[in-house]
């Protein structure tokens, strides 16, 4: 489907330059090089593509947001953004409203419903905040004027334009995060192309308007990134004699489990639940008012493939457990007391 043409590159240069902050001198040249490559590699119409890029706006606020990510916050502040009574209640409601879709996704992909719901809750508060930036503005700003990660965002811009052609999206109307992530699950363009699915069977993968596609796509993403059906995620732990020698201590930056549950127990790491000694595990420290220690398993690492941050994975885990408890309490007919218990459990983790 041809792109909607708003204006041509030369005709829009003045508009771009006048938008809050003039783009860096390299912006226009990078856009021209990118456009030529897209025409050569993928057969885009040159005039139409230049028209789309001309309508894009360099946005300084996007660059500023990239330099102050949520994941730079301490755990106390980061957790307070996502594990809240309101978001727990919203997750319980979302799970009730989409119970059949979640059950289908679990049967097909092996991913627990509460994990899928928690991802959507952390990402966009169940679709209430899918972002305010045009994706084209985010990806051109970062691809043409953010040298530290320009290569990555130019690849994402390429993927976005291909996605727009494949899914019949208007590239000038799609909105998302300051980093160009889209829809209720906030997929970046390459993930949208590679992992989104059409669960509702309408011929399109719609991550804004179709909860079926959203739920199925999150489940597929986790299956493709190592989720282990039916296995736990992480457990709060205590250290009998401080950080044990010879054990790698993982902090904010994710790392695959590099030891076993048996080795951690032998080294003085204690937690309530029992796993087979050979289960892969890692010892994680999260900063707080007091340091927290956790035993992370393969599924904890799988969550970090969605967002490469242990704080993110921990927020998803704790929110998911509170949603699970609240949903089960309501299903038993205990109502508000169960929801209150779920909130208290989350607050105590």
Catalytic residues, by residue number, are 123
Dihedral sign computed on CA atoms, order 165, 168, 169, 170: positive
- 349 contact partners, CB below 8 Å, separation of at least 6: 236, 318, 321
Element (H, E) at 236: strand 234-239
CB atoms within 10 A of CB 199: 22
- Give the DSSP per-residue string, 136-183: HHHHHHHHHH-GGGHHHHHHHHHHHHHHHHHHT--TTT-EE-TT--BT
Quick one: which of 195, 154, 152 has its CA closest to 41? 154
- Residues 281-300, buried b or exposed e (16+ Cβ, 10 A)? bbbbbbeeeeeebbbbbbbb
Asked if residues 213 and 183 have their Cβ atoms less than 8 Å apart, the reply is no
Dist CA 275 CA 281 (whole Å): 10
| Token pair recorded at residue 40 | 């050569």
On whether the CB atoms of residues 189 and 160 are closer than 8 A, the answer is yes
Which pairing describes strands 249-250 and 280-286: parallel, antiparallel, or unpaired?
parallel
| Token couple for 305 | 């493939």
Q: Bin 183: left if φ > 0, else alpha if -120 < ψ < 50, else beta.
A: left
């Amino acid at each position: 489907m041809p792109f909607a043409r708003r204006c041509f590159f030369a005709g829009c240069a003045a508009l771009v330059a006048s938008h809050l902050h003039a783009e860096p001198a390299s912006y226009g040249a990078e856009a021209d090089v990118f456009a030529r490559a897209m025409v050569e590699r993928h057969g885009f119409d040159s005039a139409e593509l230049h028209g789309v890029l001309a309508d894009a706006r360099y946005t300084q606020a996007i660059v500023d947001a990239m330099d102050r990510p949520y994941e730079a916050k301490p755990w106390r502040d980061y957790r307070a953004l996502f594990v809240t009574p309101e978001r727990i209640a919203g997750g319980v409601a979302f799970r009730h409203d989409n119970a059949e879709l979640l059950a289908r996704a679990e049967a097909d992909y092996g991913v627990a419903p509460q994990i899928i719901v928690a991802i959507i809750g952390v990402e966009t508060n169940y679709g209430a905040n899918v972002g305010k930036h045009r994706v084209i503005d985010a990806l051109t700003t970062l691809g043409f004027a953010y040298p530290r990660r320009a290569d990555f965002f130019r690849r994402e811009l390429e993927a976005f334009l291909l996605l727009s052609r494949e899914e019949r999206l208007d590239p000038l109307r799609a909105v998302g995060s300051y980093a160009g992530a889209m829809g209720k699950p906030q997929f970046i363009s390459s993930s949208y192309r590679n992992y989104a699915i059409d669960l509702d069977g309408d011929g399109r993968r719609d991550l804004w308007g179709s909860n079926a596609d959203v739920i199925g796509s999150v489940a597929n993403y986790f299956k493709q990134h190592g989720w282990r059906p039916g296995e736990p995620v992480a457990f709060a732990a205590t250290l009998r004699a401080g950080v044990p020698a010879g054990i790698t201590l993982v902090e904010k930056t994710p790392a695959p489990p590099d030891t076993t549950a048996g080795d951690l127990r032998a080294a003085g790491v204690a937690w309530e639940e029992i796993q087979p000694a050979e289960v892969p595990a890692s010892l994680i420290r999260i900063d707080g008012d007091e340091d927290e220690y956790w035993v992370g398993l393969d599924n904890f690492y799988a969550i970090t493939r969605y967002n490469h941050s242990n704080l993110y994975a921990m927020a998803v885990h704790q929110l998911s457990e509170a949603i699970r408890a609240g949903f089960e309490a309501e299903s038993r007919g205990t109502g508000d007391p169960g929801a209150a218990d779920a909130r208290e459990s989350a607050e105590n983790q």
